[in-house]
Structure 1
Amino acid sequence: MDTTEYLDVFIDESTEHLESLYKHLLELEKNPTDKTIIDEIFRAAHTLKGMSATMGYSDLANLTHKLENVFDGIRYDKIKVQTEMMDVLFDAVDHLNAMVEDIANEGDGSRNVREVVDQLERIENGEETGQAKSEQPQQQLDTAASLEKVATLNEFELSILNESADRGFSNYEITVELREDCLLKGARVFMVFEVLEKLGEVIKSEPTVNDLEEENFENSFTVLLVSNFEQTEIEERIWKVSEINQVTVNHFSISAYNQEQEEQKEQKKQQAEVEQEANTPDDQNSDKQVKQKTKGSTSKTIRVNIDRLDVLMNLFEELVIDRGRLEQISTELNHNDLQETVERMTRVSGDLQSIILTMRMVPIDQVFNRFPRMIRQLARDLQKNVEVEIIGAETELDRTVIDEIGDPLVHLIRNAMDHGIETPDVRKQKGKPEQGTIQLEAYHSGNHVFIEISDDGAGINRDKVLEKAIANEVVSQSQANSLTDNQVYELIMASGFSTAEKISDISGRGVGLDVVKNTIESLGGNISIDAKMDKGSTFSIQLPLTLSIISVLLIELQQEKYAVPLSSIIETAIIHKDKIMHAHNKKVIDFRGNVIPLVFLKDIFAVPAEDAQENDYESIVIVRKGDKLAGLVVDSFIGQQEIVLKSLGNYLTNVFAISGATILGDGQVALIIDCNALIK
């Protein structure tokens, strides 16, 4: 069977099962006697084994089978969960994950897992397992083998096997292998069947009886037999037939068969859905699901290629530009019918925009679910006791943001593990619980998503940070005296800044945080830090819901138009020039009790000066970056508008204070101001 068309579905579903294994293994470590968790792990491993075998990835299937055997023993109290065992189980899942990643990268999924297999076998055959456990894997293997060799049973055959089991008869699966030099295979088969019919009743054979009579088989065949004879007696009788190379007789488990049949039906159902989706070749690379409600409050899922959603988004962006043009024309013409039509089109396109953006949304759980496993491993490496709490994992973010935010979060968590959380003995001396806590929280607020990484560790030493900052000439002594606590903490995100006593291979508080900051700001977000000595630290990240269509305030400088993102704006103001003051050779204003520096955009962007009438008032846009404020001085405000963010291209990648451009309704290009670059 050609399985290439199902490869992407296999990778997606395998990744989901591996994530489930990681998640439930972490829960099992905390609750080793919880049968529900063990059943979930067994189910995920069992499904992954079946999928791998179907796709032909034998190494993946064999390792998963060993893992499944261990959990089968745990499930029936033949194996006791221990800490050392958990390390082996996590290691096994790591190998499985590496195999799936290799397959995703067009590999064959092969991997040397002899060591971890030996460890799993030792767990499986440990003293706690007993003889019954050692026989269990063979029985499972035999049942699995039988299901591969024996065709699906019909209702009549199944009823006979069930009835015979109820009456005390035994159901056997018998595999007979003839010698390679056997000349009359059909005659030998007839002699074997003659023996079997004296022992009981043959229910089914594979290949069929006709194929066996016509010798349309290799050297082996399998039959299901109902008999009240012992297994050894049946083997001895069959061995009396000449030219037989091997005989295998095993009990056939009806309950196991029924379970496998149900799973096969479910797999066939899923496969049928996949085949239907695979009719469109582009859907093979699909990695995005769109859900729609149908009658009876059931939901159906289709997989949509993310590239198609990107094309759809690009087309809608062009529609937004044309919508702006129509709005401008209707305003200029002042035609009632045209204005009503444009208003209706604006409402409809707004709804369409919401749907498209929703389709691109992905739960942040896809990023968060990798961290518990990472934290557990780091805790063992650092000999610390750490618990992770995840809140708001269902919070959704644009796919583009999700792809970029993972690495910064990993760095912040590694910092918290290495320099935030103390060792158990230090925590005990401070009167804290020996187990530290790292909390990951995500939530929506307006058009933004906030992600907070908190720990209850040592916090940040304010004096130490200031001392290092002055030594590195990041700030002067006079500036240091006027900094607030939060401003001091943000100094650790300066390039190359670190307060660590020694450099470790895990992290260094501050080493690389400038990269984290730059990555977040490149996504249109910002990061702030709050900490208390010996109480802990909180890194708060603010991100936009989407990066393509944003709301802005259009402003004017002479004849040039610029856009300021609304997410950065506090408010707008018009002040008299007499209100402008000077401090530290800079022009500032008093805004609600705060001294705010003014930024004259004409000077920043070198706008050509034109003769204009002197005005006693200045138009100012108050913008924010974290706790810092600034006033952007402009000529006039045009108004609020939704615009499409366009890149400036590869030739204009480092333009100061400009994050992109947009096309306005009248065809003019307006540059989008990066407020973060203007606030020092």
Structure 2
Amino acid sequence: MEMNQYLEVFIEESKEHLQAVNDHLLVLEKNPEDISIVNEIFRSAHTLKGMSATMGYEDLASLTHQMENVLDGIRNHKIKVTAELLDVVFQSVDDLEAMVYSIAAGGDGKRDVKEVVAKLVAIEKGESLITTNSPTSNTEKVVDQKNVNVGQDLSENYDQFEITVLQQSREQGFEGYEVKVSLRQDCLLKAARVFMVFEILEQLGEVIKSNPSVELLEDEKFEDSFTVTVVSKETPKDIEAKVSKVSEVDQVIVNLLDLSLLDANVQEKDEEIEVLPSEYIQQDVQVINETEEKKQSQTKAANVSNKTIRVNIERLDILMNLFEELVIDRGRLEQISSDLNNQELNETVERMSRISGDLQNIILNMRMVPVETVFNRFPRMVRQLARDLGKKIELVVVGAETELDRTVIDEIGDPLVHLLRNAIDHGVEMPDVRRQKGKNEEGTVVLKAYHSGNHVFIEIEDDGGGISRDKVLKKAISKGVVSEQTAQTLSDKQVYELIMSSGFSTAETISDISGRGVGLDVVKNTIESLGGSISIDSIEGKGTTFSIQLPLTLSIISVMLVELEQEKYAIPISSIIETAIVKKEDIMNAHNQKVIDFRGKVVPLVFLKDVFEVKQMNQSDEFLSVVIVRKGDKMAGLVVDTFIGQQEVVLKSLGNYLTSVFAISGATILGDGQVALIVDCNALIK
């Protein structure tokens, strides 16, 4: 069988299953007695193992199998969930992720996992010390491969736990079945067929056991037949029909278990076997019920989800590039139409513009990705950092469904990691310090995302010690960032922004947690390179909030076109407050800087002709055209010759040779074929 065609799907689904395992493990740590969570983890691990074995990645399947053994012990109440145990399971997931990424990069998926396997085996051996007294030797018995005698003493083939589950399932309306499956003698991938059969049976109900055992089936240590015991509300005919659809399955025989024989058998063995506590029994019956309900809901959801397909992101990039060319041609047609002033041409171009605008929205929405794809890795990271630092921290994620363009998503991960590490290392205090301050010893870090207009805001808020104004100023003065005289005039917000200066850090010692004293300047530069901004609010003793503002997309943006002599420039609409016509006589001077009074605020003027060294052909009249722009709480007035109007343009990079051009973030091609440079307002506001 040619497996390469399935490789991409395997990689993507493996990542999804590993993320699901990570998420559920974090929930399990807070609810260690909730067996339903363990079942979810087990199901994801089991699916991953089967997929890996089918694709031929034995190391991946083997490690997943070892992890699955521990999970099986937990859900059978033989192993207790502890933080130390979860550390080992998390380490296993890390190794599994490394293997999957190795495969994605073209590797063989092999990795040295002797250490973690040894830990898993040790945990598995420990379960035997607290195993209940119920006999387990019967679990490895192989049922007669020719017939399943449903009238036999069932206790010979089922242990006490399995019998109890079967009994309770019957009371809840489920039936017990023994499904005997025979594979064709020429079947090549027996383990893969077994996996597919189990997948179908798990959709129909809950698997109780198998003969031979799951381990033997996975290792293909069986002839051509195996038997699976399930509880389900399906009819034997339906079960037989659905399992028979698996290729290379030769025969399926479904026998109804005579559960009425169980009552007498159990009574006779009550004196010999220690029965599990009733709450455990109820938990497992509840799991079966929940599973059945979930399977039904999944069936309904499947009718909707099967209308979706996976699309390679490279294809979306190609589609976006083609549409960008269409936007340029659309602008050209609009200009030609305006020049010719032909009614029919005007109507046609107007209709084409409207349709292409709808197409643009569809394409942009196709590229939108929930920030959840970035946020998903943070709970695990926060847990590990908290344990390393000896702190207790709860991460609260809000608005993970908020969507951003993929190009922004790709860049925002590292800045968020740095900010979270900073909040955990410098923000949240140690538990004993928090108790002394009258706080809960467990600190809280809130990661929030939400839409507002054409922007997405991401906030990281902690309830730690806040930022000390005096400490920041002292450090800033000692490093020469500000003078003592200037320091006295700064507002609190301006002081907080000093911590994002290059090389600035208030940490007493350099640590590996929050960046080796690099500070937050890298974070600021990255966010501003994306056309965004970052601001800080803090109350000493109460906590700190970092707020990041990002554009929804980077490729097609709305701009105000302006002219300087014969040159055209584009100013992003997202940075503009408004445009104004100012009399020259209203211009004032302050600290060697020309300023204007704009709605009661002093706004400095920036003459773009001087910034971009545009040769002045003639002197303008008594009025100036000014574009008022803003960056955070700072404003500036950009002086231009004339306003051309608003337009949607395609943002093009200047390339590797023009990376250091001041105050220019890119370029665009206008409808008449001219190139207009896009002004970086953030660089002009100081």
Q: Same fold (TM over 0.5)?
A: yes
Q: Give the secondary structure class of the aligned counterpart of 1:563.
A: strand
Whole-angstrom distance in 2 between the partners of 1:118 and 1:133: 26
Q: Which moved more, 1:105-114 or 1:646-655?
A: 105-114
Q: Deviations over 1:358-396 (max 9, x none)?
A: 111111111001011111000011000001010111111
What amino acid maps onto 2:423 in structure 1? Answer: A
Q: Does the 8 Å contact 2:562/2:644 carry over to 1?
A: yes
Quick one: structure 1 residues 550 and 385, their matched pair in 2 at CA, closer, same or farther if it must change by over 3 Å? same
Q: Does the 8 Å contact 1:579/1:589 carry over to 2?
A: yes
Quick one: structure 1 residues 584 and 619, their matched pair in 2 at CA, closer, same or farther if it must change by over 3 Å? same
Shift of 1:262: 11
Q: Which moved more, 1:545-554 or 1:573-582?
A: 573-582
Q: Give the secondary structure class of the aligned counterpart of 2:401.
A: coil
Whole-angstrom distance in 2 between the partners of 1:96 and 1:628: 48
Q: Give the secondary structure class of the aligned counterpart of 1:301.
A: coil
What does residue 590 of structure 2 align with?
583
Whole-angstrom distance in 1 between the partners of 2:600 and 2:611: 26
Q: Give the secondary structure class of the aligned counterpart of 1:570.
A: strand
What does residue 672 of structure 1 align with?
678
Quick one: structure 1 residues 447 and 262, their matched pair in 2 at CA, closer, same or farther if it must change by over 3 Å? farther
Q: Does the 8 Å contact 2:66/2:120 carry over to 1?
A: yes
What does residue 474 of structure 2 align with?
467
Q: Give the secondary structure class of the aligned counterpart of 1:54.
A: helix
Larger of the two Rg values belongs to structure: 1
What amino acid maps onto 1:165 in structure 2? Answer: V
Q: Give the secondary structure class of the aligned counterpart of 1:427.
A: helix
Q: Does the 8 Å contact 2:606/2:637 carry over to 1?
A: yes
Whole-angstrom distance in 2 between the partners of 1:643 and 1:534: 47
Q: Deviations over 1:169-205 (max 9, x none)?
A: 8999xxxxxxxxxxxxxxxxxxxxxxxxxxxxxx987
Tell me if 1:355 matches 2:362.
Answer: yes
What does residue 345 of structure 2 align with?
338
What does residue 88 of structure 1 align with?
88
Tell me if 1:126 matches 2:126.
Answer: yes
Whole-angstrom distance in 2 between the partners of 1:511 and 1:87: 30
What does residue 594 of structure 1 align with?
601
Whole-angstrom distance in 1 between the partners of 2:424 and 2:503: 19
What does residue 228 of structure 2 align with?
254
Q: Does the 8 Å contact 1:588/1:597 carry over to 2?
A: yes
Shift of 1:70: 1.6
What does residue 428 of structure 1 align with?
435
Quick one: structure 1 residues 205 and 628, their matched pair in 2 at CA, closer, same or farther if it must change by over 3 Å? closer
Q: Deviations over 1:567-604 (max 9, x none)?
A: 11111111111211111111111112221111000100
Quick one: structure 1 residues 207 and 425, their matched pair in 2 at CA, closer, same or farther if it must change by over 3 Å? same
What does residue 51 of structure 1 align with?
51
Structure 1 portions without partners, runs of 5+: 151-156, 173-202, 217-246, 269-293
Quick one: structure 1 residues 249 and 448, their matched pair in 2 at CA, closer, same or farther if it must change by over 3 Å? closer
Matches within 5 A, 1:514-529: 514-529=521-536
Q: Does the 8 Å contact 1:499/1:509 carry over to 2?
A: no
What amino acid maps onto 2:674 in structure 1? Answer: Q
TM-score w.r.t. length of structure 2: 0.78
What does residue 333 of structure 2 align with?
326
What does residue 416 of structure 2 align with?
409
Q: Deviations over 1:410-451 (max 9, x none)?
A: 111111111011100011111110000111111111111111
Whole-angstrom distance in 2 between the partners of 1:45 and 1:295: 21
Matches within 5 A, 1:260-339: 299-339=306-346
Q: Which one of the candidate residues 150, 171, 186 is aligned to 1:165? A: 150
Structure 2 portions without partners, runs of 5+: 158-179, 189-220, 248-300
Q: Deviations over 1:118-150 (max 9, x none)?
A: 22222223257645699879958x99xx9xxx9
Quick one: structure 1 residues 496 and 18, their matched pair in 2 at CA, closer, same or farther if it must change by over 3 Å? same
Shift of 1:512: 3.8
Paired residues, number? 573
Tell me if 1:20 matches 2:5.
Answer: no
Whole-angstrom distance in 1 between the partners of 2:47 and 2:108: 19
RMSD (CA atoms): 3.2
Quick one: structure 1 residues 261 and 110, their matched pair in 2 at CA, closer, same or farther if it must change by over 3 Å? farther
What does residue 504 of structure 2 align with?
497
Quick one: structure 1 residues 509 and 409, their matched pair in 2 at CA, closer, same or farther if it must change by over 3 Å? same
What amino acid maps onto 2:83 in structure 1? Answer: T
Q: Does the 8 Å contact 1:419/1:508 carry over to 2?
A: no
What does residue 99 of structure 2 align with?
99
What amino acid maps onto 1:417 in structure 2? Answer: I
Whole-angstrom distance in 1 between the partners of 2:565 and 2:547: 38
Shift of 1:460: 0.9
What does residue 669 of structure 2 align with?
663
What amino acid maps onto 1:254 in structure 2? Answer: V
Shift of 1:335: 2.1
What does residue 63 of structure 1 align with?
63
TM-score w.r.t. length of structure 1: 0.79
Q: Does the 8 Å contact 1:15/1:100 carry over to 2?
A: yes
What does residue 456 of structure 2 align with?
449
Quick one: structure 1 residues 171 and 9, their matched pair in 2 at CA, closer, same or farther if it must change by over 3 Å? farther
Whole-angstrom distance in 2 between the partners of 1:267 and 1:677: 63
What does residue 636 of structure 1 align with?
642
